[in-house]
Amino acid sequence: MEVLGAKQLATAVGVTLVIAPLALWLSFFYLAKFSSIDLRRALPWLRVLRWVAWILATPFMFAAIVNDSYHHFFVYGCGLFSFSAGLSFSQNWLKKRLNLNSDNA
């Protein structure tokens, strides 16, 4: 694979992972405003998705930091970490919107 194509792919994946939580948050906002769908069912899925993204990001970042030959994994790790952090905003907004203050929701 050529170097320029690999950098473009890594950039596209990284940007997509950063923007995806915002798009998900916007979709939750419109569903809460214009639909009668019960959004309580989305909270456990958001929590699982956050943990999966965080767990997948950890080996990418570790490999990129420990061994320089895997430096291209750093973008994927950062993208997954920011995806996980971005989902926390959606999760907290849903908890406030649904008046769920406990972490067990």
Task: Give pLDDT tens digits for 25-57.
Answer: 999 999 988 988 888 888 999 999 999 999 999
Contact (CB, 8 A) for 60 and 73: yes
Distance CA 23, CA 42 (A): 15
Residue 66, CB half-sphere, CA atoms under 13 Å: how many? Answer: 6
Higher pLDDT, 70 or 4: 70
Residue partners of 65: CB distance under 8 A and separation at least 6: 74
Task: Record the pTM.
Answer: 0.81
Res 105 pLDDT > 50: no
What does the pLDDT average to over 64-68? 90
Residue partners of 21: CB distance under 8 A and separation at least 6: 83, 85, 86, 87, 89, 90
How does the average pLDDT of the chain come out, rounded?
87
